[in-house]
Structure 1
């Protein structure tokens, strides 16, 4: 997990979704919610989640249960974790500005601590495809081409 920059998170009955993350102080930390941050469906009210990490080959290597703890500005952990997270954030606006943005009540800064043995690892990993069903979206429907009264010729200079 120390090398992981992306993990897959399952919270309750929500779809599994990818999250940007950083491993600090023996726990996985993620930031999301609010404007400009990754969505974290269901995590604001969750106390437990399931974390799946992928290996160098792109496939999953481990899934482990986690306890979710929200970090808040003023907490002792906030002062030590947030500057480290801001430093690891790619394409962020800067450490102190990022920390101020994360202090917004709509933004979640969460610490996911391992809670028990992995549920899937090594020989217990599934063999088949785990591809999820494609979510419904209006973008999958073919849009009609605009009507043209006259044929447009291709002019070559």
Structure 2
């Protein structure tokens, strides 16, 4: 029992520290693939803003109030997966006390907002503010990672279609090196 309590404390500390230090997290809701999202860690949970004009898209993830999501956090120094955990999704009511406190934290971290002086009013009208609260121990952590690659195949797109290299390209590259 002591080991379980110690592991739960250790997992909670890992989740909090890794998530605080990471600029992006990957979130997978009830629908669709995982998506990289910016966030803040506030009062024991990941806080997200989205679905408004100029904000990150949350639609298509299936993040609904009372639902669950999987959050994956990478290591800041190595870039690999560090921890993955299950979360309960809580949607905050606009202009409520928790919403106001969370929006203030998000506003402080929001980069390049075109309307930074009136951003919270726009968020209250157009956006969703979500809290992803950890549920239990980490599903994946450094000593408990799944075997094999967890890489996802890219979605089909004309942007990812590889075409043959133009015949003249090697010659053009050699010319560029000779000029130096």
Q: TM tier, shorter chain?
A: 0.7 to 0.9
Alignment gaps of 5+ in structure 2: 1-18, 164-180
CA separation of 1:34 and 1:131: change in aligned 2, threshold 3 A: same
- Deviating beyond 4 angstroms after TM superposition, the runs of 4 or more aligned structure 1 residues are none
| Counterparts of residues 28-107 of structure 1 (less than 5 Å) | 28-40=46-58, 41=60, 42-44=62-64, 47-56=67-76, 57-93=78-114, 95-105=116-126, 107=127
**TM, length-normalised to structure 1:** 0.81
- 2:147 and 2:162 map into 1 onto residues whose CA distance is 35
> Within the alignment, does 1:21 sit opposite 2:42 as a pair?
no
- SS, match of residue 47 in structure 2: strand
**TM, length-normalised to structure 2:** 0.71
Asked if 2 retains the 8 angstrom alpha-carbon contact of 1:83 and 1:95, the reply is no
Alignment gaps of 5+ in structure 1: 144-157
Q: Which structure shows the higher strand fraction?
A: 1
Q: 2:144 aligns with which of 124, 129, 134?
A: 124
> Number of aligned pairs?
142
Alpha carbon RMSD of aligned pairs, Å?
A: 2.0
Q: Which structure shows the higher helix fraction?
A: 2
